[in-house]
Structure 1
Amino acid sequence: MNIDQSVVAAFTPTGKLRASINLGNPILANKSPETGEPFGVSVDLARAFAGRLNVELELVVFDAAGKSVQAVSEERADFGFFAVDPLRGETIAFTAPYVLIEGFYLVRDESPIKTNQDVDHRKNRVAVGLGSAYDLFLTRELKAAQIVRAPTSPSVVATFLEQKLEVAAGVKQQLEADARKAVGLRLLDERFMVIQQAMGTPKSRGSAAAEVLGTFVEDMKASGFVGDSLRRHGIVGATVAPEA
């Protein structure tokens, strides 16, 4: 694929391609305990995109989605990996999604909450990761329940337990893993949202840059790259998004 040098320049104002990586979603990225280096499907895609542009890659790593989004919005990074959301879309041009992820609720075994519809009551407090897709979505959707924001998505269950809250909300796989470390917790039976995980770049980089990024995502889905990456990293519960 021949990419106009003006597009390459739009993506690399500092001379390097800076990728915003969020470690707060373990489906997308994790940190190696041996080397401390990030790895995962978002890191694989970042390296592949740098290869397509034929530029040097710099990973800018954050522990929470909100920080990762802010870095791209403020142009401290050139692109990133985010759940599609209207609020984020004010400053970021999103591609079509490359991965679909389910959001679930977690409660205690003895909780009277049985279904998703039981959550939105005044007596309930729902823990979410600050600035996460769940935070943005539930802030719009919940009318009566109170939202309590944990510093990061991986700290949601700890906040839920420490503050004796009624509900925790987040990535199904993260909640399941955290629930196995405690006693007396259960997930509700149905998801409350499907997250469309996409790539994005600042809108200020122009429509040509956004189009190149969108084409890249479609190529990575169609070629099997995304699916292969998910399998290689042992990710379950996330599915490759359909072609746009």
Structure 2
Amino acid sequence: MRSKIINELAPSGVLRVGINKANILLVTGEKDNGEPSGVSPNLAHEIAMELGVGIKYISCDTPGGTAETIKNNICDIVLIADEPARAEFIRFTDAYVEIEATYIVPQNSPVKIISDVDQSQNRIAVSGTSAYDLYLTRTIKEASLHRGQGLPETAQLFLDKKLDALAGLRPALEENLERMSGMRILKDCFMTVEQAIGTHKTNSIGYEFLLDFITSAKSSGLISKLIKKYGVEGKLQVPK
């Protein structure tokens, strides 16, 4: 059975892992050898150890670019958010962490709750190809979306263009709020981003292995230990 799993997930003998380095909650740094470090890279390392194979990280600047590595057969697995548009060509496990997504708005904005944002006069800054961008693209009916690449660029776009709302993951927005005057964060959220592990849709035995691995990683406390190890307690939630 193990050889069949490896044949699907690491046919070259090395597990090729797509990492979204734009998610600073899950990829918190870089090792001396240039490899990414953080909850996601460490979790991928644990998978490779379980399989008894080597590991190669493919770091991408955007979540959309990370997803494309599966479509283009550059990676064997990816660690990104489960999202319907991506699920068309990626098979995702259950989530291993969840992160709320919400908005920053100007202090004097009439927007009080999430449902106030989707109005024709409102312009929303959002990081392109992120899970919450894909979600807002599907669900926003009246407001307009204005995209940047990554949160730092998108936050600057929000400020420079004096847009009406900045979408993002709550922990990252809270950090940005410290550098923004006259702004506030909405208390409610428009979605919960579910970070999962994805592989090729044709991988059946390999997928079952990943599903079991994530279930065990949550129940054994491994995910919680990694969250503590990388100093992101209170920012990432482990699903029940």
Partner of 2:62: 64
The 5 Å alignment of 1:141-156 reads 141-156=139-154
Query: Aligned partners of 1:154, 1:169: CA distance in 2, in Å?
Result: 12
**Offset at residue 34 of structure 1 (A):** 6.8
Query: Aligned partners of 2:181, 2:45: CA distance in 1, in Å?
Result: 40
Secondary structure class of the residue paired with 1:239: coil
Q: Does 1:226 align with 2:210?
A: no
Query: Aligned partners of 1:177, 1:187: CA distance in 2, in Å?
Result: 11
Amino acid at match of 2:168: G
Query: Aligned partners of 1:238, 1:139: CA distance in 2, in Å?
Result: 24
Q: Does 1:213 align with 2:210?
A: yes
- Over residues 67-119 of structure 1, what are the superposed CA-to-partner deviations in whole Å (9 max), with x where a residue is unaligned? 11111222211101121111111100100111111001111112221111110
Partner of 1:125: 123
Query: Aligned partners of 1:125, 1:14: CA distance in 2, in Å?
Result: 47
Q: Does 1:94 align with 2:92?
A: yes
The 5 Å alignment of 1:24-39 reads 24-32=22-30, 36-39=34-37
Q: TM-score, normalised by structure 1?
A: 0.93
Comparing 16-25 with 28-37, which one deviates more in the overlay?
28-37
Change in CA separation of 1:197 and 1:180 when aligned onto 2, cut-off 3 Å: same
Q: TM-score, normalised by structure 2?
A: 0.95
Change in CA separation of 1:227 and 1:135 when aligned onto 2, cut-off 3 Å: same
Query: Aligned partners of 1:30, 1:113: CA distance in 2, in Å?
Result: 32
The one of 137, 146, 155 equivalent to 1:157 is 155
- Over residues 128-187 of structure 1, what are the superposed CA-to-partner deviations in whole Å (9 max), with x where a residue is unaligned? 111111111111111000011111234321221122211110110111111111211110
Secondary structure class of the residue paired with 1:138: helix
Comparing 27-36 with 53-62, which one deviates more in the overlay?
27-36
Does the aligned pair in 1 maintain the 2:8–2:205 contact within 8 Å? no
Query: Aligned partners of 1:24, 1:120: CA distance in 2, in Å?
Result: 26
Query: Aligned partners of 1:130, 1:177: CA distance in 2, in Å?
Result: 20
Change in CA separation of 1:66 and 1:154 when aligned onto 2, cut-off 3 Å: farther
- Over residues 173-225 of structure 1, what are the superposed CA-to-partner deviations in whole Å (9 max), with x where a residue is unaligned? 11111111121111011111111111110113x21111111111111111100
**Offset at residue 33 of structure 1 (A):** 8.5
Does the aligned pair in 2 maintain the 1:25–1:153 contact within 8 Å? no
Secondary structure class of the residue paired with 2:56: strand
The 5 Å alignment of 1:1-244 reads 3-32=1-30, 36-204=34-202, 206-235=203-232, 236-242=234-240
Query: Aligned partners of 1:35, 1:158: CA distance in 2, in Å?
Result: 31
Amino acid at match of 1:15: G
**Offset at residue 35 of structure 1 (A):** 6.5
Secondary structure class of the residue paired with 1:238: coil
Amino acid at match of 1:214: L
Does the aligned pair in 1 maintain the 2:35–2:57 contact within 8 Å? no
Secondary structure class of the residue paired with 2:175: helix
Query: Aligned partners of 2:18, 2:31: CA distance in 1, in Å?
Result: 20
